[in-house]
Chain A
Amino acid sequence: MRDSDAFTVSLVYLARLREAFGKSSERAEVPTGVTSVAALRTWLAARGGVWATELAPGRAVRIAVNHTLAQPDTPVRPGDEVAIFPPVTGG
């Protein structure tokens, strides 16, 4: 399904969130009104269930757009790769 009121982004889930969501990636049709990282998070949380739990306001979630750490107001554009993951624990 595809129409002019939506655009496609690649979503990537990592570490604990990959396990919680039960998938490592997906292509999603996002409503054109979803123009920022914060809006995308809210849109995904509206799926309910584990999405609502894990992406609820106040939960520590990091988001990268096209491989660069993003802020809530970072724009999301057609074709972007948006990765959603917990705070990092390397080193």
Chain B
Amino acid sequence: MPVRVQIEDFDVSRELAQLRGDNRAVGAVAAFIGTVRDVNDDARVASMTLEHYPGMTEKALAAIVDEAKSRWNIVDALVVHRVGALAPSDQIVLVGVTSAHRGEAFAACEFIVDYLKTRAPFWKKEQTPSGARWVEARATDDEAAARWHTPRGPAT
């Protein structure tokens, strides 16, 4: 199963082992793990809650993985994204990509993360000393995703 949304934590080693399986065509595994920082926009973050849009989330993630598979010659890809209550240093998201060679795995992994951050319906609400606040989207995330709008991604 290439995409999952879950409350529980995930075991990176186990997830990547399952992604690889016993496929001997795999020569590279690239992984990105997003974690909760204790400071955001100059405020201490005590905890956060991640909300999503059930029904759309899995569909959006699957579409991003399919897009990655159509752009790069990768073997497989995995997205596990947590929702619910999270604390600093908790794991939020795992993106894993397998391919024959590292270049495709690195590129596809970065693409999936960039698209996920601008297209998958998740929202973070932080608890800070001055109260709860919804995290604002960053222009830098839009810019990161826009780099891939050309067919093969960042050219220079």
Contact = CB atoms under 8 A, between A and B. Distances in A.
Interface size class of B (residues with CB under 8 A): 20 to 34
Contact of A88 (B92, B113, B121): B121
B137 A90 contact: no
A91 B137 contact: no
Mostly helix, strand, loop or mixed at chain B's interface? mixed
Interface stretch (B12-20, B53-61, B65-73, B101-109): B53-61
Interface in A45-91: 60, 64, 67-69, 83, 85-91
Contacts, number: 73
A44 interface: no
B121 A14 contact: yes
Interface residues of A, number: 17
Nearest to A81: B55
A40 interface: no
Interface string B115-152: 01111111111000000001111000000000000000
B53 A91 contact: no
Interface in A6-29: 12, 14-16
